[in-house]
């Protein structure tokens, strides 16, 4: 029988999610990789235990996380039943719908039909009565925004989710969605977007500043740029790396000599800060007080322990920030 550490809340930092009442750990555990059918179940269990024992109370999923789609939720359901059921009220479980999930015209994007049906399937796979946060996973250029937001309203007001979130939205659409959700009295509290030293898209499309203005939280996925912002590729491409063994999200062509030079230069700054490159990359996301949390992926428990160290130093001098920006422009 699993007994969580009595000291699980001693060292983790918790940040308020925008202007809401919800606190999230500064580091959250994402199930995008390594929790599907191709992963080792016992390793998944140990990663969840390690994370929770260190105060990571937030497990983030989506309907299509795998491979195969749905398998990450199925595995979480098994882990919850076998180990975490006594701790359900201490956990934040989030999931999403918006990307292609099942065949035919009703398993994709942002229709009322898709979102409600998808969450029902997700709850069944996870063996849960509700999720804490349910996200629309991406903007839908065809479905009226009002329809998608009304679906989120029904989901929250039915009790199947406690809070609503939006993922991969830009600032302009976020502002429109917020107005609709406020009128519907939906507790929309958080945006999930890609953000890293190498990917500043939310600074360019207005999402970051609009979230701050509206008092909505931001949780960042891919803060390590799919592993580029770690020591994994400092000396080239290892044969057991994600590029070699998977290749779905990180392509060999992305690791150019120019990119390698940037990674090595950033690593030198990290050394001067007494951090690993990964720790510095996570800390860089968390340097702004309105960034709520960073989502880490892991393939083994030790990576979780290493990444948590980032919260020990999230303060950057202006000289360091300027140097990081200059490297990324080079």
Domains of the chain in sequence order: 14-227+283-312 (3.20.20.100)
Contact call for residues 237 and 243 (beta carbons, < 8 A): yes
Q: Which pTM value belongs to this model?
A: 0.94
Q: What is the pLDDT of residue 150?
A: 98
Instruction: Check residue 281 and report its DSSP letter.
Output: H
**Cβ count near 181 (within 10 Å):** 20
Q: What is the rounded distance in angstroms from the CA atom of residue 198 to the CA atom of residue 187?
A: 32
Residues 222-277 have pLDDT tens digits of: 999 988 999 988 876 665 555 545 555 566 667 788 889 999 999 999 999 999 99
Q: What is the pLDDT of residue 195?
A: 98
Q: What is the pLDDT of residue 122?
A: 98
Q: What is the pLDDT of residue 256?
A: 83
Q: What is the rounded distance in angstroms from the CA atom of residue 101 to the CA atom of residue 99?
A: 6
**Residues 108, 113, 116, 118: is their CA dihedral positive or negative?**
negative
Q: What is the pLDDT of residue 147?
A: 98
User: Which residue in this structure is represented by tokens 């929250």?
Assistant: 156
Consecutive 10-residue runs of the chain (330 residues): their mean pLDDT? 96 97 98 95 98 98 97 98 98 98 97 98 98 98 98 98 98 98 98 98 98 98 94 72 56 77 96 97 96 96 97 98 94
Q: What is the pLDDT of residue 242?
A: 58
Closest CA to 62 of 72, 53, 54: 72
């Amino acid at each position: 029988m699993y007994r969580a550490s009595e000291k699980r809340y001693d060292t983790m930092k918790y940040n308020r999610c925008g202007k809401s009442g919800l606190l999230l750990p500064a580091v959250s555990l994402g199930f995008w990789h390594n929790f599907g059918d191709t992963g080792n179940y016992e390793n998944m269990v140990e990663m969840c235990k390690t994370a929770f024992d260190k105060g990571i109370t937030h497990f983030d999923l989506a309907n299509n996380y795998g491979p195969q789609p749905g398998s990450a939720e199925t595995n979480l359901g098994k882990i919850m039943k076998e180990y975490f059921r006594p701790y359900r009220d201490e956990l934040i479980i989030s999931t999403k719908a918006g990307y292609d999930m099942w065949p035919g015209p009703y398993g994709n994007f942002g229709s009322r039909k898709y979102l409600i049906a998808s969450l029902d399937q997700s709850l069944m796979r996870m063996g849960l009565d509700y999720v804490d946060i349910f996200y629309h996973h991406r903007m839908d250029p065809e479905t009226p925004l009002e329809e998608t937001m009304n679906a989120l309203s029904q989901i929250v007001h039915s009790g199947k989710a406690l809070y609503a979130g939006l993922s991969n939205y830009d600032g302009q659409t976020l502002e429109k969605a917020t107005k609709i959700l406020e009128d519907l009295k939906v507790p929309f509290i958080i945006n999930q977007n890609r953000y890293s030293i190498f990917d500043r898209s939310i600074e360019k499309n207005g999402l970051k500043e609009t979230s701050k203005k509206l008092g909505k939280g931001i949780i960042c996925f891919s803060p390590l740029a799919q592993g580029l912002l770690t020591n994994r590729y400092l000396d080239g491409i290892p044969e057991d790396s994600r590029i070699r063994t998977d290749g779905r999200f990180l392509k060999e062509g992305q690791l150019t000599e120019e990119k390698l030079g940037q990674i090595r230069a950033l690593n030198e700054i990290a050394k001067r800060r007494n951090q690993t490159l990964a720790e510095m990359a996570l800390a860089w996301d968390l340097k702004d007080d309105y960034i709520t949390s960073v989502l880490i992926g892991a393939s083994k428990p030790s990576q979780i322990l290493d990444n948590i160290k980032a919260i020990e130093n999230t303060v950057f001098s202006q000289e360091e920030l300027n140097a990081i920006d200059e490297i990324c422009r080079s």
